[in-house]
Amino acid sequence: MRKGMVGLVTVLFCGALLCGGCAKKDMVKAEEATVPPVTTEKPAVTPPAKPAPSETVKEQPIQEAPTTTAESTVKEQAPTVIAATELEKVLFDFDSFVLSPAARDTLSKNAQWLEKNKQVKVQIEGHCDERGSDEYNLALGEKRAKSAVNYLVTLGIPASQLSVISFGKEKPADPGHDEAAWAQNRRAEFVILK
């Protein structure tokens, strides 16, 4: 009797599996099954038509549209970068973010200026020379900028007044490919944000 029950349960189980598998195939409609392919190609841009040589093109005066309140709030939120002529850049040795005595003297002068101008926010940009990978130089540039920030904080400048960004080797001060150019590119620069 036990063997009969086990056999009956087995047959019922197999029958349920077969019936369940067949019913699912008909539930999907043919229209729903097709998904349009996703393309990542950009549409072709046709250049503007050139005027015929005999035609003359009259220039129209450009009129600026008045800015709306939504546009003006966006402009107010983005920080404006101003060249910091009062703040001096700091130079670093090859493959290093350690501050030299000359760099510490420069940072002390910058700290005095920042102490007098407490309302000013300053972004410290870390830069590297062209040697090394992009990833390595971005990390090294960040370490250089943070090294300058940490020293300024020890001199009493609030960390909230300072921010850090790394450009790695993307913005060389000197485009040359020799040691003199590389020495100028290993730096931390100060940019005033308004």
pLDDT greater than 70 at residue 90: yes
Helix (H) or strand (E) holding 188: strand 187-193
pLDDT at 22 over 80: no
Residue 26: is it exposed, middle or buried by C-beta count within 10 angstroms (0-12/13-18/19+)? exposed
Give the pTM: 0.58
Calpha distance 77→72 (Å, rounded)? 9
Residue 24 pLDDT greater than 70, yes or no? no
Average pLDDT value for residue range 23-32: 45
